[in-house]
Amino acid sequence: MRRAPPSLRLRLSADDLVAGSGGPFSARGVCLSAGDRTFAMPGMVLFGRRWAIASDDLVFPGFFELVVRVLWWIGILTLYLMHRGKLDCAGGALLSSYLIVLMILLAVVICIVSAIMCVSMRGTICNPGPRKSMSKLLYIRLALFFPEMVWASLGAAWVADGVQCDRTVVNGIIATVVVSWIIIAATVVSIIIVFDPLGGKMAPYSSAGPSHLDSHDSSQLLNGLKTAATSVWETRIKLLCCCIGKDDHTRVAFSSTAELFSTYFSDTDLVPSDIAAGLALLHQQQDNIRNNQEPAQVVSHAPGSSQEADLDAELENCHHYMQFAAAAYGWPLYIYRNPLTGLCRIGGDCCRSRTTDYDLVGGDQLNCHFGSILHTTGLQYRDFIHVSFHDKVYELPFIVALDHRKESVVVAVRGTMSLQDVLTDLSAESEVLDVECEVQDRLAHKGISQAARYVYRRLINDGILSQAFSIAPEYRLVIVGHSLGGGAAALLATMLRAAYPQVRCYAFSPPRGLWSKALHEYSQSFIVSLVLGKDVIPRLSVTNLEDLKRRILRVVAHCNKPKYKILLHGLWYELFGGNPNFPTELDGGDQEVLTQPLLGEQSLLTRWSPAYSFSSDSPLDSSPKYPPLYPPGRIIHLQEEGASGRFGCCSAAQYSAKWSHEAEFSKILIGPKMLTDHMPDILMRALDSLVSDRAACVSCPAQGVSGVDVA
């Protein structure tokens, strides 16, 4: 690898880093750090192309292979020493030669793998200089696969010849041949996994350096890389979703998703393990900051009684309507929540043919789904107006029912359950929401907006709502949903508000990146969102993902520990907790260099990132296609009090509730519960616990106030 002249290393400024072709280190492939370190990209370059693996990723694979090889070598040596006298049979000389040569070959491989593992432990993510010999070691290791394959083939041929030797010896040699081919096959699979289709385009640019290109050529090359990345991602998505149809909506979703992935992933020079290490460091950094914070000052004014009553009333409504949002998932969630008894309860419905009761319900693919819906909601057949589990891209399942307890017509939209739903989620461009309201800025998430529009057309054009209100004209309209369904429910409520001014919406764990700030403020009078703990989805938007990427780049660039130590400590911390004070800053004089404007950080990012900012305090610049979007309505935040286990597996957890501002969800929080807090069964359990605790404390005003806060 080249070395930067010392003067450039010391005098490189932030302007150089962002000046495009004017700055010699502004593009992919440069990893600058302090002192006399080499600059190189984390992605390893072999055979003239970049691979999706770094030179410090070989510690754990190397250790695993080393253990297997050593045990294998000991086994072969034991076999040879114990049965050497039984090899004087016909063909025994060949088998004896096979074992001796195999032991020698294994000894050489063990030495090379040991060297690879030791070299891989050196340096840091952004300082691969101490690992500069890795490429030579890997070339030697790959070259040794040729004699291994030849010798494994010869061993298989000799054994197949029907050698007349002791059966134990023959079986042992068969085992060595099988192990040889297993290791060879595993190596081939590993190479396929770490193959980067764009590596051939990136490696020459990285090695030559952007200073060899003028502004026009540099822009042309980077645009070409982005186009190629979009094409690669689209191919991957089509292969993954090959069974979901080829209609127009699906093709549009493929393109939208591919563009999102290429925009987000293709402007960094990080391999997957770097991202894992960055997330581990961020989690510890986040906990360290929280632990070192001064205790929050007590608010000078207690929440008013009207706010308390409002929170209590909305929590009770959320507890009630969450049953409908969960019911929309059908039998899979019901079986998951009731693994021992669920199948027995709805088994009869799965096998039952349609009766006259079902004739009152439109839709398709009912049976098991309908049985689980009845058990979850506690309603009767006659209470349902429509049940549909029709599922395509931009077309979500939904149910419409009469809720006599709350005197409401409930529309429940299902959340993400299929690949089609995932494509709807990932169609994250913004489009103008066609809705009758006084709001000027009506941008919304394209995929969820299209899904809400589909449900709207079904409700209005098919006369479903008209039928419901002809039966119960005095009832009010309530729209609910969880996750993707929560976002669609919020948009649907906004679309229907002109015709149904009293509409209410309860969005459970909705995505943050739903719609514009103006629509967020407009929706506060009729939409309530409920968020549990560190749930990632209510914090998930393209803007927040860019912020997360920036934070990962910063913590990775500033880290002075080898990656294998970061990952080991991170795994231990996630499983068992402990001290989060894991060093992430370079020591001594090196730290001073990294206090300059993110030199190491920018080196991991190409200059065509749409949303990168140098300052940690400055807002991210937004791509026109992905402007900042916000969550729906007023937000109730449920938080766990105390510790009930790092993965939320304890059912004795206690929760508090408060009204929260959307700004509290402007950053993605890293932790073991960021995914489990999104699960509908966990949310239902939290609501059950909270509502029962608050009901028990009605006579204890001091306790009741303590769990309530107003942000």
Task: Write out the two tokens for 599.
Answer: 């030199």
From the candidates 196, 535, 677, 709, give the one annotated as an active-site residue: 535
Contact between residue 257 and residue 423 where contact means Cβ atoms under 8 Å apart = yes
**Nearest-angstrom CA–CA distance, 436 and 347:** 45
Contact between residue 256 and residue 447 where contact means Cβ atoms under 8 Å apart = yes
Q: Which residue, 641, 612, 611, 659, is CA-closest to 703?
A: 641
DSSP state of 124: B
Task: Write out the two tokens for 96.
Answer: 């004896």
Is 535 in the active site?
yes
Contact between residue 657 and residue 707 where contact means Cβ atoms under 8 Å apart = yes
**Nearest-angstrom CA–CA distance, 303 and 293:** 24
**335: enclosing H helix or E strand:** helix 331-337
DSSP secondary structure of 231-282: HHHHHHHHHHTTTS---HHHHHHHHHHHHHHHHHHTTB---HHHHHHHHHHH
Q: Tokens 């800053």 correspond to what residue? A: 585
Is 214 in the active site?
no
Q: Which residue, 544, 554, 552, is CA-closest to 597?
A: 554
57: helix, strand or coil: coil
DSSP secondary structure of 573-632: HHHH--------S--HHHHHHHTSS-HHHHHTB-TT-TT--SSSSSPPP-BTTB---B--
- β-bridge pairing 398-403 and 408-413: antiparallel
At residue 406, φ and ψ (nearest 5 deg) are -100, 0
Amino acid identity of 399?
I
At residue 499, φ and ψ (nearest 5 deg) are -85, -30
Amino acid identity of 368?
C
Amino acid identity of 475?
Y
Contact between residue 483 and residue 508 where contact means Cβ atoms under 8 Å apart = yes
Per-residue CA distances from 50 to 142, 547, 582 (Å): 16, 26, 31
From the candidates 120, 483, 523, 529, give the one annotated as an active-site residue: 483
**Nearest-angstrom CA–CA distance, 491 and 582:** 43
**Nearest-angstrom CA–CA distance, 78 and 687:** 62
Residues carrying an active site annotation: 483, 535
